[in-house]
Structure 1
């Protein structure tokens, strides 16, 4: 989500410029009235375009999200995604409190989902609906985002995120677990694999990495080396968001109201046309979440990398690669899939960075096939306990996304 944070800041500056231009036109109209007071009225009336232009620009600055949302998003019946359900607070060793939601059979194997930076667990709405009839789906807000509370010392790192994830894995014991991470969530899962190798192949039987990278995300965006060369400038700008958080928050909300944030998320995050609710959910999340927390997380990502550790992550892995992803280029996911000994890549040609939302059916069908394979023993046990018929073993959906080979991955 690093590049989306940059888009968001640029959108906020443009939105602020539109507001300032509107105020400038209105101010110039009043000034001209004073200067032209001694002249005929028709001369004054000829300058009223300044007043109307200024009023229109100010109206767009505060009401633009309504028409923008209609133009950029498709109508759908997923409005319920904007309403968060009940959950519980889980304390971490570093003082954060995580808001955790669970759905699905309590005795079933567990899928733990880790969302992208700047967002919250609400983005897993489709995954919960599609997968919780079979498995227990656990989603949570990363520390400091959504309904979760920040760390006691307000410091952020991928290691801490991995430690938080370990706390949730421990809560699932003795059930088997698959970890699913999108963007920084995928980075968190990889960090978990590096920090807790003793869990791999035992309690954690597989990982799913969605539109993520293995190194500083500035290096793996569509802007490539050009953006990486600006890192000495980007870091101080991120720190400004920490020091000037109230001002940054006001700018973000003004950009949200004007619809500029929606524009940035639509063209920076989605490869296809999202639903109105999806676009609103993402835009609302990046606006509501603390600019200081988001900035600290972005800085932490710039200081992170697991490239050399990937060959030691010996666990079944499914790696999603978005063909239209501007935030994380395909090469990043392909490198992960090539370096991890038991990884397979799933290429989703139309997916942008927010592919798990916009093309949820394709992503979740592949996850279901993967989970059915690595959870075979646990899933059958859960079915027996719940009095259900075993799930069919044949692949779901189109085989091109993830051709399962039975027995390809051990369950122990």
Structure 2
């Protein structure tokens, strides 16, 4: 289906699973698409209603000149309103920029109405470029400058070659990632249009959503890989300290930035746990 955002941007939305089942909403990260959540959709759709959407400009959602955290929040609100009944609540899981989408929307009316709990995977709220360890140098101006040049590059990624897989694995995945996982992520990331990737890199560079974290009053779990170079564990710890209702912080040894792909069973399990604990509680209290 298609959801229409506040500025008219059209968003590709997929709904999987049985009607009436507990709802889960999945928001993917920068340069990805709904395909990134393939493992979660496959496992959860047996007994959940799984809603996944392409961020504007990604996947099958057309590009839009508006690239901002406000636009991300507008888009998530549009998806929630289009797919959930009045008063119906879901567990919202966001990976990387998808987690930032959740933070941006935390104070919005539709988000508060429709969100029972949140899972934040491999994400951060500010200082992303300075904290990144993609460039193996000491923290400082040189590392920040080089990281900004790499992440904000206008260069086309080209075809998925063995060299491209090695580069993507180094920057975004753990050293033990299986070849099929690396290949899947490479195909998804290389499928993102160059202009879209570049435009959103500026938003990530200037990101400051610390206020959004403090406004996220629903139960929230945080997952991060110890080998994450893009949003290292220090980012996850900062989120836990700032969240009003952090329900757990999980560090995955040897896992990189692509946690839903690298550790699919664990991420799926966390979502199931949040659904069981919080959506059922909400239903009983409102009965």
Q: TM-score by structure 1 length? A: 0.63
Query: Equivalent residue for 2:145?
Result: 230
1:117 aligned to which of 30, 47, 52: 30
CA apart distance, 1:229: 3.6
1 or 2, which has the higher helix percentage?
1
Larger Rg: 1
Distance 1:302 1:359 in 2: 27
Secondary structure of the residue aligned to 1:375 is: helix
CA apart distance, 1:309: 4.1
1 or 2, which has the higher strand percentage?
2
Unaligned runs of 5+ in 1: 1-87, 242-247, 381-409
Contact 2:54 2:61 in 1 (8 A): yes
**Aligned CA distance change for structure 1 residues 233 and 187 (closer, same or farther; 3 Å):** closer
Runs of 4+ displaced beyond 6 Å: none
Distance 2:182 2:201 in 1: 22
Q: TM-score by structure 2 length? A: 0.88
Unaligned runs of 5+ in 2: none
Query: Equivalent residue for 2:198?
Result: 295
Contact 1:120 1:141 in 2 (8 A): yes
Aligned CA-pair RMSD: 2.5
Q: Given the alignment of the two structures, is residue 372 of structure 1 paired with residue 284 of structure 2, yes or no? A: no
**Aligned CA distance change for structure 1 residues 298 and 281 (closer, same or farther; 3 Å):** same
Distance 1:351 1:363 in 2: 12
In the comparison of the two structures, how many residue pairs are matched? 280
Query: Equivalent residue for 1:173?
Result: 85
Contact 1:155 1:296 in 2 (8 A): no
Superposition map of 1:200-239 within 5 A:
200=112, 202-222=113-133, 223=135, 224-226=139-141, 229-230=144-145, 234=149, 238=152
CA apart distance, 1:118: 0.7
Distance 1:274 1:233 in 2: 25
Distance 2:220 2:143 in 1: 28
Query: Equivalent residue for 1:140?
Result: 53
Q: Given the alignment of the two structures, is residue 163 of structure 1 paired with residue 78 of structure 2, yes or no? A: no
Contact 2:77 2:111 in 1 (8 A): no
Distance 1:93 1:228 in 2: 38
Q: 1:225-280 CA deviation, whole Å, 9 max, x = no partner?
A: 35664179739x94x72xxxxxx33xx21xx3542221112222221533443322
